[in-house]
Amino acid sequence: MAARLDGIGVVVTRPAHQAEPLAGALEAAGAEVLRFPALAIAAEPDDEPHRAAQRRAAEADWLYFVSPNAVAYGLPRIRAAGGPAPHTRIAAVGHGTARALGEHGIEAVHYPRQGATSEDLLAETPLGSIRSGRVMIVRGVGGRGQLAETLRRNGAEVDFLEVYRRIRPDTDPAPLLEAAASGRLQVAIVTSGEVLGNLLELIGERGQQWLARAGLVTIGERVAAMAAPYAGYVEATRTAAEEELIAAVARAAAAVQEISGVGDDERSQSSGG
């Protein structure tokens, strides 16, 4: 049976244009959802350096899309350059990105079923066993470099097509602070370390005091470790699947409720992932 979230207030920090599927699923489960974009996306310029990278991507042996944004901003550019080539194999970081590729007509996608990180991709798909060939990683500016380093050590030629930038929006913290002060918010969902940093900046000291007593749901243990010093309780999921996030929110809310009933000394030892 799917988890119910009746009486639980949840902060969704996804970019405004991507928040609705998750927010709608949370509301269908009974949650009160506060949409609080802690990240915004802006396209990279379509200049000659980017067009040259797009042409290389069009002929690559592998295209790896790191996010739905990479699909939305990158695939049209690759197609404008004549790709993907018939021999090109497509990989995605997880189910959500694979689904975005499917919405653009690409069904043959390699992606991990048990997680949503680069490490999961290497462990669960043929990309982890390649020893040659050209891999183009389609991403935002300044993404993680661990996958590229691993692929290069294995013998692949790796390049990047950076098609968007992540920026911190000017989201008004007043609705969140008001809802937190009235006890209507119990859990926030944070999908990356950058989102976490933006959230902390946007909500300020008052909001951080609330977060220190609240639950935080993250995707992956790496982000969970980053979030642990700032939240009352951290619950990590393996993927960004909506049903998995909903279940994690339910667990986090229950843990926060339990922790709130213990003394301060015990509380400091009770939070975890």
- Domain containing 232 equals 9-39+170-270
Q: Average pLDDT, stretch 195-206?
A: 98
pLDDT tens profile 15-35: 999 999 999 999 999 999 999
Q: Where does a domain end: 166, 191, 216?
A: 166
Q: Average pLDDT, stretch 32-45?
A: 97
Same domain as 93, residue 194: no
Same domain as 249, residue 184: yes
Same domain as 237, residue 180: yes
Count structural domains, the chain.
2
Same domain as 161, residue 174: no
Does residue 179 lie in a domain region?
A: yes
* Global pTM value: 0.84
At residue 103, the pLDDT reads: 96
Q: Average pLDDT, stretch 200-205?
A: 98
Q: Where does a domain end: 135, 166, 197?
A: 166
Q: Average pLDDT, stretch 178-200?
A: 96
Q: What is the CATH number of the domain that holds 153?
A: 3.40.50.10090
Does residue 91 lie in a domain region?
A: yes
Same domain as 145, residue 47: yes
pLDDT tens profile 81-123: 999 999 999 999 998 899 999 999 999 999 998 877 888 899 9
Same domain as 159, residue 85: yes
CB 137, CB 159: distance < 8 Å? yes
Question: Does the pLDDT of residue 264 top 60, yes or no?
Answer: no
Q: Average pLDDT, stretch 141-147?
A: 85
Q: Average pLDDT, stretch 172-191?
A: 97
pLDDT tens profile 132-141: 999 999 999 9
Q: Where does a domain end: 124, 142, 166?
A: 166
At residue 146, the pLDDT reads: 86
At residue 270, the pLDDT reads: 38
Does residue 49 lie in a domain region?
A: yes
Same domain as 250, residue 185: yes
Question: Does the pLDDT of residue 212 top 70, yes or no?
Answer: yes
Same domain as 16, residue 75: no
Does residue 1 lie in a domain region?
A: no
pLDDT tens profile 44-71: 999 999 999 999 999 999 999 999 999 9
Same domain as 153, residue 85: yes
Same domain as 103, residue 46: yes
Does residue 3 lie in a domain region?
A: no
At residue 268, the pLDDT reads: 41
At residue 175, the pLDDT reads: 98
Same domain as 114, residue 61: yes
Same domain as 155, residue 59: yes
Does residue 2 lie in a domain region?
A: no
At residue 143, the pLDDT reads: 76
Question: What is the residue-averaged pLDDT of the chain?
Answer: 93
